């Protein structure tokens, strides 16, 4: 395969080609480029000579690309895009361009962060897409190490030297029942609350929770009737049964109207949990990830 001497190339000619391909009119192309029509014609002439093809032929409404030009168009667009990336300021991230992020998250993190994040991105950066990989406490670090995800949203408290952890928000927990539940008409004592049929959300299996210690100290035990792994399922089950669940207030607020739920502070509450961004220290200054972290933190500016 023969190779073209790039020292003879002029990148501006390819820009003229791309604009002509879009406008199909020399005059309109000249206006977009801020050039005279003769300058555009000169650039086109040089391209024709270099590529040994007319590229654009006269048409009653302007010009039409030749088959050779049609074949070259996507390749030239890619060359220009690559050149723009190479020459761009490496400290900046252009959120108007297509970019796909991979985020590791639990069910609860999806509710607390991913739902409001996607609402924000669809308004402000619609070219950005997010792929979510379900990650638990055992697989989140390997997923970051293998670059299967760009960052994780997690409640894990483990400290790992090669990873950086930064807080997003603190989760506050409330109890939810259906709006017409009989328990709402009686005093909610610890005994009454323990006797209610409980849903426990345990993504990694139930081995006891801190609030169970409070029940045990009072000589009580929760009436647990369902243990299931998905936070988003709990409000739906509560709405259709006589069960109660303790969930993050953000999740409860999502369903309180659509599912007819009532919220109340239980007589004993789990300790507040901090939701964090977990990311490799080697990647923490990458412009796309700096931008993404800023978008996530902006959801909870008070934190």
The answer to whether domain 99-169+274-297 has CATH 3.30.450.20 is no
Compute CA distances 259 → 5, 176, 199, 232, 253, whole Å. 68, 11, 16, 12, 10
Residue 261 has pLDDT above 90, yes or no: yes
Considering only 6-10, 62-66, 111-115, 235-239, which range has the smallest mean pLDDT? 6-10
- Tokens representing 246 are 């303790």
Where are the CATH 1.10.10.10 domain residues in the chain?
Answer: 6-87
DSSP β-ladder status, 151-154 and 99-105 = parallel
What is the value of pTM for the model shown?
Answer: 0.66
Residue 296 has pLDDT above 90, yes or no: yes
Do 171 and 248 contact (CB within 8 A), yes or no?
yes
Identify the CATH assignment for 173-271 out of 3.40.50.1820, 3.30.70.1290, 3.40.190.10, 1.10.10.10: 3.40.190.10
Percent of the chain with pLDDT over 70: 94
Where are the CATH 3.40.190.10 domain residues in the chain?
Answer: 99-169+274-297, 173-271
3-class SS of residue 99: strand
Q: How far apart are the first and last CA of the chain?
A: 59
Instruction: List pLDDT tens digits, range 200-223.
Output: 998 877 878 888 888 898 899 999
Looking at domain 6-87, its CATH architecture is Orthogonal Bundle (1.10)
Please state, in angstroms and rounded to a whole number, the distance separating the CA atoms of residues 128 and 143: 21
Return the pLDDT at 39. Answer: 92
Return the pLDDT at 6. Answer: 59
Running DSSP on this structure, what letter comes out for residue 196? S
Instruction: List pLDDT tens digits, range 48-106.
Output: 998 999 999 998 989 999 999 999 999 998 888 888 777 766 667 888 888 999 999 98
């Amino acid at each position: 395969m023969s190779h073209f001497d790039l020292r003879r190339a002029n990148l501006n000619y390819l820009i003229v080609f791309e604009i002509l391909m879009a406008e199909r009119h020399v005059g309109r192309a000249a206006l977009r480029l801020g050039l005279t029509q003769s300058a555009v014609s000169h650039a086109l002439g040089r391209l024709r000579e270099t590529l040994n093809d007319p590229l654009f032929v006269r048409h009653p409404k302007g010009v039409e690309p030749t088959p050779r030009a049609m074949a070259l168009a996507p390749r030239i667009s890619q060359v220009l895009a690559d050149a723009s990336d190479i020459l761009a300021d490496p400290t900046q991230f252009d959120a108007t361009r297509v970019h796909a992020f991979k985020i590791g998250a639990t069910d609860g993190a999806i509710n607390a962060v991913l739902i409001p994040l996607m609402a924000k991105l669809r308004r402000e950066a619609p070219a950005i897409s997010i792929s979510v990989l379900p990650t638990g406490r055992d697989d989140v670090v390997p997923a970051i190490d293998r670059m299967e995800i760009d960052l994780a949203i997690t409640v894990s408290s483990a400290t790992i030297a090669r990873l950086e952890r930064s807080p997003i928000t603190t989760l506050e927990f409330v109890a939810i029942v259906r709006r017409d539940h009989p328990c709402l008409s009686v005093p909610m004592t610890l005994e009454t609350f323990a006797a209610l049929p409980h849903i426990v959300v345990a993504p990694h299996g139930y081995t006891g929770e801190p609030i169970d210690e409070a029940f045990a100290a009072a000589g009580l035990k929760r009436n647990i009737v369902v243990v299931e792994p998905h936070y988003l399922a709990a409000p739906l089950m509560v709405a259709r049964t006589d069960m109660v669940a303790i969930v993050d207030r953000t999740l409860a607020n999502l369903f309180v109207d659509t599912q007819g739920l009532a919220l109340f502070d239980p007589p004993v509450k789990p300790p507040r949990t901090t939701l964090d961004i977990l990311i490799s220290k080697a990647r923490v200054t990458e412009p796309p990830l700096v931008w993404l972290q800023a978008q996530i933190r902006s959801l909870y500016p008070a934190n």
